[in-house]
C-alpha cells in the first residue's frame, strides 16, 4: 500500500508513537515562525523555560501584525521580541519586510521540512511541500526549546485536481470551492493533500493561496507535492539548491477523496459572514461596493499583484470605491516599483499601504458603517474588519481589481487577461537581524511597562466547581473570544488589560460576570474556537477564572490552547444537553483527577439537579497537562 506525501514527511520526522490516524505522535520540528501578535507571549514562555539554546534548524520572529505604532506599546513589544530572539539564536524580521507566510516561502521554506508557527495560516508552507502546522504560542515555544511537537495523527483527504483554470479563475476560487464543499469544520483532524494532473498547472504561489486557506477548513495542514514548478519558484528566489522533489506514491491510499475539475470552476466569492458561505459571483449579482482591499498572506504574491496591475492599467477606480493594496513582502514591492506596475496601480487610484497584515486583522482600513468591502483575505467573520455592521466578501485578486473599476461585484470573465511572466528576485536581507555573537549572557531582555506576565493555572483540584458565565452558539471564533483590532492589538502582551475586552462583541458583561463568579465555565455549540491560533483566547479566559469549557465540538488549535492553559475541553455526549444549561447555573466536576482518566465524565448541575455526560477525549499527554494545570507547570515539574 503506497504512502501519502503527508505521511512520508511525518514518518521521516517521527520521534515517538505509531503513525496511524487517531494515534498520539511526537514529531521533530525543523523550523518555527512567530509573528508579533502572538510572539510576545511565545518569547515570554521561552524565557520562562530558561532555555540555553533552541533546538530547531531555523526559527524566525516576524513583525507584521502590530505595525501601527500610535503609542509606545507596539514598539516596546517589537524590541522585546528582538532582544529575546537574539538571546536564543532566532532571526528577526523587521517591520516593513512583509507578511510572515509570504516571507517564509520566499526565504526559508524547504520541501520535506516541518514548520510550526504561532499563526493559524502557517500551512501556507504546504504550497512549497512542507508539513507546516499552525499552533498556539506555547506549543511553538516548546518546539524551539525541545525541537518536537506532539499531535494526534490526522487522516488525509485527497483533493484530486483535474483540468486547467480558465482566465479570470484563480487559486482563490479553488479553495473557495473546496470550502463550499467541505465547510469550515470539514478538515478538523485531517490533512488536505492535493494531487492530480491539475497540480502541474499551479504555481507555488497559487498553491500557497490554497494551503493558506486550508486553515479555514479547520485542517491540521494542507500540502502539495514538490515538483518542477517548485524548483522554478525556488530558483526565482535564488534558492535552487534547497529544492527537493517530493510526491505521494502512485498507489497512495487516502481516507477521503474530493475531485475538482478546474476547467469547470468560475469566479466565486465567500459571502458574509463565513469563508464557507460561497456562491458564484454571477449568482450573487452586481452588489454595490464601497471598498476593495487586496493583499494579506493569502493573495499578496508577485503574480497576484501583477495581475491586479495589468487589470488596473489605463483604468480608473470607481469614484465611490476606496482601493487599498498591501504587497506581501519588501522584495515584491521593490519589483513592482522597478517594473512600473506600482505606478499603474497608483495612477488608477489605488492606495498602497505597508507590507503587513493590516486590514486583514482590523489594523486600519475598516469599512464605513454598513459598508460593503471586497477583500482577497482569508476570513470574513462579522466585525473582524473593525466595523461590526460591514459586509465582507472574500474574492480573488482578479475579481477584486475589476470590481474596483466597475464599482460593483463583478468579473471580467468574458474579456482577455494578460499572462504574467515569471520574475527573478535579487537576494536582499537588509530587513533581517541576525543573532550573530549574541548570547543570554551578553544580550539583556528589553521589557517595556506594557508587558505583563502570562497567567498560570493551578493543579487540578479534586472538586472543580464553577458558574456558567457564558452560553454561546455555534462557530464561536477566537475573534469573538478575544477581539483583535487596532484598539486592542497593542496590548497583546498585557493579559490583565485584554481581559476587559473578552467576548465584548457577544456579551459585554462577560468580564464582570467572571470576576463576580470567581471560577467560571463556558458552554458553546459546534466548532467552538474556530479561526486564529491566538492563545490569548485561552489565556484571557484563564485569567478571568474559566476552568472548563463544554461544547458540542472544538476547533483543533483552540482546543490545544485550552489544554496548554489547564482548561478542560469537554464535548457533550448528548448534544441536547446543551439546551438544558442556563447562564448562572452552578456546575461541578467531582473527583476531577479521577474522572479525566475515563472516557466519560459527569458534570453535575447543582442548580437544576441534572447531570451531563461529557467526553474529555484527552490523550495521555493531555491528561498530564490538565492534572498539572497546564503545559508550563508540567514542564517545570519535569526539571
- The count of other CB atoms within 10 Å of the CB of residue 419 is 9
Select from 202, 214, 193 the least CA-distant residue to 170.
202
CB-CB contact of 137 with 538 (8 Å): no
Contact between residue 274 and residue 353 where contact means Cβ atoms under 8 Å apart: no
Strand partners, 611: 604
pLDDT in tens, 438-474: 888 889 999 999 999 889 999 999 999 999 999 999 9
Task: Name the DSSP letter for residue 28.
Answer: E
pLDDT of residue 569: 98
- Measured at the CA of 480, the angle between CA 293 and CA 570, to 5 degrees, comes to 135
Report the distance separating Cα 297 and Cα 484, nearest Å.
Answer: 17
Q: What is the DSSP letter of 266?
A: -
**pLDDT score at 361:** 85
Query: Distances from the Cα of 435 to the Cαs of 30, 59, 90, 91, 624, in angstroms?
Result: 18, 11, 7, 6, 35
Residue whose C-alpha cell reads 514598539 in the numeric block: 75
Task: Report yes or no: 243 and 230 within 8 Å, Cβ to Cβ.
Answer: yes
Q: What is the pLDDT of residue 519?
A: 97
| Pairwise CA distance, residues 77 & 83, whole Å | 10
DSSP 151: E
Q: Which residues of the chain have pLDDT under 70?
A: 639
Q: CA 219 to CA 134: how far, in whole Å?
A: 10
Q: Are strands 155-162 and 190-195 parallel, antiparallel or unpaired?
A: parallel
Which domains are seen in the chain, by residue range? 269-406 (3.30.499.10), 463-637 (3.20.19.10)
Cα→Cα distances 375→181, 343, 400, 547, Å: 21, 21, 7, 37
- Residue 425's SS3 state is coil
Distances in Å between the Cα of 5 and the Cα atoms of 12, 156, 360, 424, 467 are 11, 10, 31, 29, 47
Cell numbers given for 172? 482563490
CB neighbour list of residue 431: distance below 8 Å, 6 or more residues apart: 93, 94, 96, 97, 98, 330
Cβ-based burial of 619 (10 A; exposed 0-12, middle 13-18, buried ≥19): middle
HSE on the CB side for 576, CA within 13 Å?
Answer: 1
Would you call 217 exposed, middle or buried from its count of C-beta atoms within 10 A (0-12, 13-18, 19+)?
Answer: buried
Amino acid at each position: 500500500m503506497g504512502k501519502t506525501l503527508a505521511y512520508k514527511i511525518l514518518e521521516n520526522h517521527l520521534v515517538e508513537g505509531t503513525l496511524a490516524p487517531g494515534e498520539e505522535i511526537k514529531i521533530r520540528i525543523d523550523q518555527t515562525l512567530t509573528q508579533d501578535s502572538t510572539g510576545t507571549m511565545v518569547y515570554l514562555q521561552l524565557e520562562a523555560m530558561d532555555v540555553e539554546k533552541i533546538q530547531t534548524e531555523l526559527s524566525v520572529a516576524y513583525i507584521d501584525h502590530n505595525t501601527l505604532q500610535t503609542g509606545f506599546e507596539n514598539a516596546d513589544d517589537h524590541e522585546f521580541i528582538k532582544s529575546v530572539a537574539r538571546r536564543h539564536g532566532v532571526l528577526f524580521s523587521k517591520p516593513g519586510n512583509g507578511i510572515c507566510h509570504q516571507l517564509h516561502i520566499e526565504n526559508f521554506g524547504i520541501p520535506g521540512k516541518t514548520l510550526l508557527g504561532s499563526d493559524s495560516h502557517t500551512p501556507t508552507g504546504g504550497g512549497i511541500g512542507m508539513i507546516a502546522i499552525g499552533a498556539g504560542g506555547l506549543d511553538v515555544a516548546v518546539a524551539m526549546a525541545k525541537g518536537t511537537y506532539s499531535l494526534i495523527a490526522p487522516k488525509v483527504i485527497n483533493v484530486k485536481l483535474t483540468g486547467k483554470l480558465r482566465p479570470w479563475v484563480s487559486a482563490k476560487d479553488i479553495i473557495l470551492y473546496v470550502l463550499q464543499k467541505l465547510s469550515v469544520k470539514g478538515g478538523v483532524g485531517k490533512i488536505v493533500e492535493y494531487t492530480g494532473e491539475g497540480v502541474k498547472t499551479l504555481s507555488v504561489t497559487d498553491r500557497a493561496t490554497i494551503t493558506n486557506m486550508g486553515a479555514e477548513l479547520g485542517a491540521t495542514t494542507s500540502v502539495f507535492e514538490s515538483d518542477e514548478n517548485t524548483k522554478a519558484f525556488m530558483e526565482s528566489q535564488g534558492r535552487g539548491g534547497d529544492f527537493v522533489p517530493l510526491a505521494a506514491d502512485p498507489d497512495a491510499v487516502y481516507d477521503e477523496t474530493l475531485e475538482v475539475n478546474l476547467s469547470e470552476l468560475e469566479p466565486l466569492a465567500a459571502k458574509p459572514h463565513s469563508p464557507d458561505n460561497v456562491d458564484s459571483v454571477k449568482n450573487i449579482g452586481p452588489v454595490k461596493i464601497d471598498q476593495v482591499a487586496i493583499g494579506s498572506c493569502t493573495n499578496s504574491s508577485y503574480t497576484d499583484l501583477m495581475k491586479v496591475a495589468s487589470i488596473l492599467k489605463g483604468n480608473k477606480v470607481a469614484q465611490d470605491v476606496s482601493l487599498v493594496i498591501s504587497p506581501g513582502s519588501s522584495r515584491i514591492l521593490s519589483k513592482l516599483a522597478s517594473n512600473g506596475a506600482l505606478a499603474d496601480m497608483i495612477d488608477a487610484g489605488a492606495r498602497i499601504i505597508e507590507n503587513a497584515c493590516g486590514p486583514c486583522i482590523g489594523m486600519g482600513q475598516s469599512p464605513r458603517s454598513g459598508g460593503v468591502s471586497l477583500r482577497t483575505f482569508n476570513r470574513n467573520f462579522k466585525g473582524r474588519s473593525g466595523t461590526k455592521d460591514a459586509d465582507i466578501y472574500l474574492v480573488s485578486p482578479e475579481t477584486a481589481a475589476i470590481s474596483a473599476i466597475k464599482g460593483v461585484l463583478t468579473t471580467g470573465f468574458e474579456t482577455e487577461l494578460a499572462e504574467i511572466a515569471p520574475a527573478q528576485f535579487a537576494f536582499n536581507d537588509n530587513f533581517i537581524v541576525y543573532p550573530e555573537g549574541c548570547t543570554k549572557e551578553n544580550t539583556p531582555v528589553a521589557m517595556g511597562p506594557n508587558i505583563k506576565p502570562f497567567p498560570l493555572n493551578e493543579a487540578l483540584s479534586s472538586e472543580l466547581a464553577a458558574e456558567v458565565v457564558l452560553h454561546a452558539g455555534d462557530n464561536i471564533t477566537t475573534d469573538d473570544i478575544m477581539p483583535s483590532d487596532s484598539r486592542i492589538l497593542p496590548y497583546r502582551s498585557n493579559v490583565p488589560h485584554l481581559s476587559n475586552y473578552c467576548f465584548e462583541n457577544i456579551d459585554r458583561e462577560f468580564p464582570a460576570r467572571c470576576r463576580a463568579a470567581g471560577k467560571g465555565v463556558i458552554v458553546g455549540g459546534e466548532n467552538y474556537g474556530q479561526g486564529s491560533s491566538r492563545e490569548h483566547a485561552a489565556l484571557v479566559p484563564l485569567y478571568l477564572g474559566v476552568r472548563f469549557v463544554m461544547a458540542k465540538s472544538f476547533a483543533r488549535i483552540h482546543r490545544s490552547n485550552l489544554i496548554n492553559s489547564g482548561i478542560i475541553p469537554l464535548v457533550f455526549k448528548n448534544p441536547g444537553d446543551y439546551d438544558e444549561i442556563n447562564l448562572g447555573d452552578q456546575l461541578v466536576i467531582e473527583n476531577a483527577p479521577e474522572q479525566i482518566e475515563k472516557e466519560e465524565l459527569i458534570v453535575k448541575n447543582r442548580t437544576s439537579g441534572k447531570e451531563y455526560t461529557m467526553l474529555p477525549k484527552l490523550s495521555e499527554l493531555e491528561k498530564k497537562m490538565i492534572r498539572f494545570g497546564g503545559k508550563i507547570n508540567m514542564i517545570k515539574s519535569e526539571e
